Structures are given as structure tokens and as C-alpha cells.
Structure 1
């Protein structure tokens, strides 16, 4: 397991060379954060002093509990022990490459193609298509993607509810974990139901208010309020 201090040390040369990036916990985030957040995340694992970095380009106005969604992938060459000098060399090389080839060029419309690049086996999910359409106000086109996402969550909730019912003791650790996961799935379910309902009636003002509230919740959750630049969605400027 690596510490936050070790993460700060290993990414410091990158930060010194890129004034438009800032360290937030274990994340290296590109400034400013708006409807998109472009970042690296240096994850820990059970192995002492080991890091598993990834890059992300994520929308910041999705439903709870995560509020984010988009594309990302592991920086395979940056995985390793923090006390191995070669780990830092490889990680910094990968961060430079991803910054120039992906993060600086990423935009909302490019998310589906970026997801194919990041996850070529599975490809982008419905939210990856739906969120850019929401932002530009293509509500009729976005609605089927959001409905598909809701159907997936509905199915997941049903399966988790069945799992919860099978536990003999609600106080067991597996039961508590299932109950926690179910609670988060129900949050997502309610959020998706809400946006799908608004899309069905075409309430532009209510859609804008909901997306702005979700974005505010996202920047608070990910502790990037100090580099957030709130702005209207494209469909608000066009109206």
C-alpha cells in the first residue's frame, strides 16, 4: 500500500513541468474542472509501497452516487513500487504521453471514441453516449441511452435485493456489504428515473437545474471545488 506522501513525491516532477495540473489527494487533475474532469489517479493496493496509476476523462454531471462517467485506463507501464526509481521514470513518461495525446485534446463529443480506445473489449456504455448528448441539448437522442442505463440499474437492483434476502443474519459482513451496494444502486436508480422523467416531458429548465446540481455534487465529492469553473451547458447558451 502506498501513502499519499509517496504519491506526491513520485508525481512532483510532472507537476513542476505542468502548471495547469494540481495534486488533489491521490489525483493529478488538469485545471480547470468544468463539465469534464481530466486527471490521473495513483491508486494503492494491498502490496506495501505499490502504485497502480490510471488516466480518466470524465463527465461531472452524472447521477449519484458517483456523479462521474467517461473513459479511462490503467497506465500499465507506471505500475510498480514507489521506491524503485524506474517506476517513477516509466510513470512520468506515461503521464507525459497521455497528457499530450489524450487529456489536452479531450472534449465532450469525443468521449465515445475515447472509451473505445480505453476499453476496446467492452466499448463505451450508454452513459458515455448519453451524457454528451445531454450537454448539447439533444434530449430526444439522449433519452434512449439514459433509459438503457436505467434498465441496467433496475436489473442490478433486483439481483442485489435477491442477494440481501438470502442472508440469514442482516448483521453479517456480507449482508452489510450487500446492503451498502444496494443503497448506492438505488441512488443511481432514482437519479436516472428523475432525468428520464424530465427528458420525457422536455423540461429544459428542470434538466439544466438537475445537471448543475449534480455537477456541484461531483466537484465536492472529488474535492476539486478550488479549481472548478462552473458554466452554462451548451443547450442553455443556445436557448
Structure 2
């Protein structure tokens, strides 16, 4: 398995060149400061000790879940190696002496891209223009997203679909799905009342809780949502 020491050695040149980049844990690089979306580069382990799999992702922090964001949010993409002289793909192999140099080159391109998406609008524009897998595939996520963006007329359309969804017909007795269900329900009244302040307070609370669970408070910069700026 890929070790924390291997990762630290691999990413050291990146950390030295980019003061807005930090190694959050043994495998995750983040651009800081963090606002509503984390901009991450993962150095994932594989089943082989010889290989690792790097990828980047944008993760929203204001969704109504009860655990920190750990999976793809807006989008995620693998960072691929260049083909060899025979046109065959190459993996990220620790034993390959050419690997570290190519990793730095490819990752710096990703850093430049991630640095350019420093607002909620920019994150969404990137995913809509270039990424096949985007956050906001279902009515629940679209509801929260459009509230955050201040698109309340559209959010009210999503709310009608959410209310009719099987997931909201019954309230779970306990567990994280009950919490999620109650949080989704809590959006209804302020949304229909056009109460932007109440909606913003809800999203800020969820974001604070996700930030605390993810243990990135020191890198987080609380920021108004477009919802508040449009009001």
C-alpha cells in the first residue's frame, strides 16, 4: 500500500512552490482558503504497493448530510499519465524513476485549474462545461444548490418534486437518514416564504458542521452565499 511517507516525499516540491496548497492528511492536498467548496487532489492507494491513483475533486460543504464530504461532489477526474513510446498507458508506479517528475507536471496543471474556480459560480460553470459527472443529479441536491445560488423561483420548482418524492413520504425513526430528512424538510417554509436570511442561516449551519467534521476549520473562510448577495 502507498504510505504517508511516500506521499509526503512526492508532494514536497508542490508544497514548496505553492503556498496556497496544503497536505491535509496522508493523501489529500487542498487549496486554501476553503470557502463553500473544497478543491482537492487525492493520492489514492491501490491494491498494489507499487501503484497509486491520483485524482482531483470539488466538494461542496453545504449539503444536508451528517458526515463530512468524502466522495465526489461537483465532479471528480483522474489524473492520467502520458502514454509510453508504444502508445500504451502507464500507471503511477513508485518504482518508475520518471514518475515523480511527471506527477509534478500533471498536478501543477490541475492546481492551475482548481485555482481558477474560486467561487461557487465558477465551480458550477466548470462542471457544466467540461465534466461528465456533475453534482446536482437529483432533485434534493438541485434544491439545495439553487437555494445557495439564490435561484429561489427554480428552487421552488424543485421543492414540489422533493415534496412528492418517496424519500419524504415517511420520516425514518432514527439514524442519519432521519437527520437528512428533517434537514430537507426544514427548507420548505423559508423557501416558500422567500426568507433568504433563514435559508442562508440553514446552509451556513450545515457548512460549519461539515467543516468541523472534516477538521479543516483552520483553513476555512466563512463566505456569504450568492443567495445573500442577491437579496
Distance (whole Å) between structure 1 residues aligned to residue 56 and residue 78 of structure 2? 7
Which SS does the other structure have where 1:16 is aligned?
helix
**Mapping for residues 97-136 of structure 1, pairs under 5 Å:** 97-100=109-112, 102-106=113-117, 107-116=119-128, 117-119=130-132, 125-126=137-138, 130-136=143-149
Residue correspondences, number = 214
Matched-pair contact (CA < 8 Å) for 1:59–1:131: no
Distance (whole Å) between structure 1 residues aligned to residue 98 and residue 215 of structure 2? 30
Residue 88 (1) aligns with residue 100 (2): yes
Question: What do the CA deviations read for 1:57-77 (whole angstroms, capped 9, x no partner)?
Answer: 222211113565312212132
* TM-score of the pair, normalised by structure 2: 0.75
Distance (whole Å) between structure 1 residues aligned to residue 188 and residue 100 of structure 2? 45
Partner of 1:168: none
Residue 142 (1) aligns with residue 155 (2): yes
Which SS does the other structure have where 1:103 is aligned?
helix
Q: CA deviation at 1:216?
A: 1.0
Q: Structure 2: which 5+ residue stretches go unaligned?
A: 83-90
* TM-score of the pair, normalised by structure 1: 0.73
Say which of 216, 221, 228 aligns to 1:224.
Answer: 216
Cα pair distance change 1:123/1:191, threshold 3 Å:
closer
Distance (whole Å) between structure 2 residues aligned to residue 125 and residue 211 of structure 1? 19
Residue 24 (1) aligns with residue 24 (2): yes
Q: CA deviation at 1:28?
A: 0.8
Partner of 2:15: 15
Partner of 1:165: none
Alignment root-mean-square deviation, CA: 3.3
Cα pair distance change 1:113/1:48, threshold 3 Å:
same
Residue 64 (1) aligns with residue 65 (2): yes
Q: Structure 1: which 5+ residue stretches go unaligned?
A: 162-181
Deviates more, 1:136-145 or 1:203-212: 136-145
